[in-house]
Amino acid sequence: MARARIILHVDMDAFYAAVEVHDDPDLAGQPLIIGHRGPRGVVSTCSYEARRFGVRSAMPSVTAERLCPRAVWLPGRMERYVEVSRAIRSIFDEFTPTVEPLSIDEAFLDMTGIARTLEAGRDAAWQLKERIRERQGLTASVGVAPNKFLAKVGSDLEKPDGLVVISEDDVPARLWPLPVERLWGVGPKTATRLHERGVRTIGDVLRVSETSLREVLGASGAVHIRALARGEDDRPVEPDRDAKSISEERTYASDLTDPDVIDRALLQRAEGVARELRREKLVARTVHIKVRTGDFTTWTRAHTLAAPTDLAEVIVAAARELFQQRIDLGGRGVRLLGVGVDGLEPAATRQATLFTDPAEDRARRAALAADAVRKRLGAAALVRARLLEPRRGGPEEPPEASSPPTVD
Ligand code: TTP
Ligand code: MG
């Protein structure tokens, strides 16, 4: 028999809000909402105090304002959350080499062979929580189980600051009473169709006939959902799968129309992507942009470079060209703007050609120096001169619903 696995799922509590409270303790105990107010705003997340009023992630800000009029609102500081996320990831690395990050505040850790039993897994989880608390002043919730699915269920059961172990023996008591929506792959539509057949809890999945399940999910879906309901899941924890692309995009509270502002936004996104490339010691061969107008028309356009790069200058030049040559806004403003790269390869493989172009060599050394300063002083320390030019009465970049560079 295969050795029983020990899997941890770690999920930070109210992550963006908790970071803000940590950095400004005056916010402690208050309903705090991270997001932009106004008709187009959405809630990124909120403190548990705000959740008591019914405020939730992804809720329109107007609804949140109605539910909790006295909440404190903050726009969010993505750079800071990414910084904390990296610090937490490096704590994960101290526990096991097998870490699969799922999002900015969530990861699976495979502790098989490191912790011998689920109880030893619980001890490790406790130490992990303590280390995050000591170093970052934040709480995490952790699930410990023989597989990913049960670990993920466990981390959510006693949030915030939870620690739940789910063994195979605990499945009837802890898993079966939960709503069927908690099963991976059961979205709202599937859930409605299951409800119609009397399936409301995970336990009901095992009580209802296989035929009923097949009507909703098909033959293989029925097999899959039954296995999950029994608490079975053999997917491996996949450590840091090789990045296939890196991108950064923003949605704007009001559509961008000024070409200068759009240009600056392109440069900022290119900067973020280039920085991430250098951090990951990668270079990219293809640059792409994504543009969405207020009426939700969306374009993606890509350009392959002559040589792979990790420089913002090269990326923004390609992005500008794509924007100017390949997109016809037809007078509409830009609601969403993204810059990304793919065709990634390790930077080291092109050492031979790296320093042949003197202009590129200079730009590269400047970028690496800037990365080093930024690392020491924090992200806000250095902004490219172009971003600071007075805008002849032009507006500052408007508030953004920001997202970290995503790597997939
Ligand atoms: P979550 O882990 O889903 O939420 P959370 O950490 O804020 O709260 P919980 O205690 O329930 O885990 O997401 C992590 C961060 O990702 C969250 O702090 C903000 C961001 N986020 C968004 O920006 N928009 C969203 O719709 C969601 C779900 C999260
Ligand atoms: Mg979280």
Alpha-carbon distances, residue 270 vs 61, 159, 186, 322, 339 (angstroms): 29, 37, 37, 13, 6
pLDDT the model gives residue 406: 57
User: Which of 157-166, 295-304, 375-384 is predicted least confidently?
Assistant: 375-384
Strands (E), 257-319: 282-293, 298-309
**Higher local confidence (pLDDT), 300 or 374:** 300
- Mean pLDDT (whole number) for 93-115: 92
The pLDDT of 247-256, averaged and rounded, is 90
What SS3 class is residue 53?
Answer: coil
Instruction: Say how far apart CA 150 and CA 35 lie, in whole Å.
Output: 31
Q: Is cis: bond before 69, omega within 30 of 0?
A: no
Half-sphere exposure of 214 (CA within 13 A, CB side): 5
Sign of CA dihedral 345, 350, 351, 356: negative
Cα gap 310→344, rounded to integer Å: 10
Q: Domains along the chain? A: 1-164 (3.30.70.270), 176-229 (1.10.150.20), 245-407 (3.30.1490.100)
Number of the ligand closest to the Cα of 160: 1
**156 Cα to the center of ligand 2, angstroms:** 9
Among residues 352, 265, 357, the alpha carbon closest in space to that of 311 is found at 357
Q: What percentage of the chain carries pLDDT values higher than 90? A: 67
Distance 105 CA to ligand 1 centre (A): 8
Q: Output the 3-class SS for 85-105.
A: HHHHHHHHHHHCCCEEEEECC
Q: Residue with the nearest Cα to atom 5 of ligand 1?
A: 14
pLDDT in tens, 3-55: 799 999 999 999 999 999 999 999 999 999 999 998 889 999 999 999 999 99
Residue 405: pLDDT above 80?
no
**What confidence category does residue 296 fall into, taking pLDDT thresholds of 50, 70 and 90?**
confident
Give the HSE-up count for residue 302: Cα atoms under 13 Å, Cβ half-sphere: 10
Q: Which residues are catalytic?
A: 106
CA distances from 355 to 167, 305, 317, 318, 365 (A): 56, 17, 20, 20, 10
What letter would DSSP give residue 175?
A: I
Q: What is the pTM of this model?
A: 0.65
Mean pLDDT of 110-125: 96
Distance 106 CA to ligand 1 centre (A): 9
d(CA 175, CA 359): 60
Residue 117 confidence (pLDDT) above 60: yes
Check pLDDT > 90 for residue 176: yes
Which residues are registered as beta bridge partners of 8?
109, 144
pLDDT for residue 234: 92
By the 10 Å C-beta count (0-12 exposed, 13-18 middle, 19+ buried), 327 is classed as middle
Q: Please work out, in degrees rounded to the nearest 5, the angle formed at the alpha carbon of residue 370 by the alpha carbons of 405 and 306.
A: 65
Residues in contact with ligand 1 by the CB-under-6-Å rule are 11-16, 44-45, 57-58, 104-106, 159-160
Pocket perturbation via mutation, ligand 1, pick of 20, 45, 155, 406 by most ligand atoms within 8 A of CB: 45
